[in-house]
Each structure stands twice: as structure tokens, then as C-alpha cells.
């Protein structure tokens, strides 16, 4: 029996199948589910604010090779506590010795990316919905490799 790190079997399975450049989105409760049939989804929400966004994203960041984090620009001003917590978490993680790149985009672009896929239409590989009831508690993590 697994007793440390991420315990959700579906989330572990999906993350293990991801490769370099794949996108993993973690969102608040209000974010719509992606429209791509090839996006694996995990809805962890139980009730209002259970689990919280930062409580879900923390073990994912700890257990995932990340080269870039994409955050909606509006998060800075609309939800500063989540923004600061996310930046603090990401600042502790390195990508081959370097800091994780942070890219800010407008929320409409962020939403379009999650719902419809990237520039070439490739879907977000994994979509995780939390029970977070505060706005703009969302991040897209771009997968890296450890070598």
C-alpha cells in the first residue's frame, strides 16, 4: 500500500504516462472541464474548499518534473493569497538546476488553452479539479525531463 506522496490512483497513473512538454492543469471548482476527449480528468472536489487548490498542487509540484508554470495574469490581483502561495511553492522547485519558468497569460487565453488545447490543438494531458471556491486558483504545469 502506498502511504506517501500522491495517493489518488487515477492521478498517479495519468502523471506516470505524461511526457516532456505535456500539460497538467490544476483548477478551482468553477473551471469548466476540457472539451478534448483525450484529456484525462480527475475531479477531487468533495465540498466547498475541500480540498483546497494549494493542498492539491503542492504534492503534484513535489512529484512532477516541471519546466514551466502558466498562470492567469488576473491571479496576481484577484487572488493574491493563491498567487503568493503558488510562487512560493514553485520557487522551491528546480528544473535541471534552474528556476521553473513562470509565464503569465490572460485568463481568456488560459481558459482556451485548457478547454481546446495548445497552438497545434494538442489537448491538456491531465486536468485536475479541486474544491477551491476562490477565483483564479488555477495553474498549468508543463512537464519536463530530469536529464
* pLDDT tens digits, one per residue of 115-142: 998 777 778 999 999 999 999 999 999 9
pLDDT for 109 equals: 95
Look up the CATH number of domain 20-143. 3.40.1650.10
Q: How far is CA 113 from CA 33, 76, 83, 96, 123, in A?
A: 12, 19, 19, 26, 8
Residue in 20, 83, 107, 116 annotated catalytic: 20
User: For residue 116, which of 135, 98, 140 has the smallest C-alpha distance?
Assistant: 140
pLDDT digits (tens, 9 = 90+) for 20-42: 999 999 999 999 999 888 899 99
- pTM of the predicted structure, to 2 decimals: 0.96
Q: Is 20 a residue of the active site?
A: yes
Delimit the domains of the chain by residue range: 20-143
Read off the pLDDT of residues 59-108 as tens digits, 9 standing for 90 and up. Answer: 999 999 999 999 999 999 999 999 999 999 999 999 999 999 999 999 99
Amino acid at each position: 500500500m502506498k502511504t506517501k506522496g500522491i495517493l489518488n490512483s487515477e492521478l498517479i497513473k495519468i502523471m506516470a504516462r505524461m511526457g516532456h512538454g505535456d500539460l497538467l492543469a490544476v483548477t478551482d471548482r468553477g473551471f469548466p472541464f476540457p472539451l478534448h476527449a483525450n484529456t484525462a480528468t480527475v475531479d477531487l472536489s468533495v465540498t466547498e474548499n475541500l480540498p483546497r487548490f494549494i493542498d492539491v498542487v503542492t504534492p503534484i509540484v513535489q512529484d512532477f518534473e516541471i519546466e514551466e508554470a502558466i498562470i492567469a495574469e488576473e491571479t496576481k490581483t484577484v487572488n493574491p493569497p493563491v498567487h503568493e502561495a503558488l510562487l512560493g511553492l514553485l520557487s522551491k522547485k528546480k528544473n535541471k538546476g534552474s528556476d521553473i519558468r513562470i509565464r503569465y497569460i490572460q485568463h481568456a487565453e488560459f481558459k482556451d488553452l485548457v478547454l481546446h488545447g495548445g497552438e497545434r490543438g494538442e489537448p491538456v494531458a491531465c486536468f485536475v479539479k479541486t474544491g477551491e471556491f476562490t477565483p483564479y486558483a488555477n495553474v498549468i504545469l508543463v512537464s519536463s525531463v530530469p536529464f
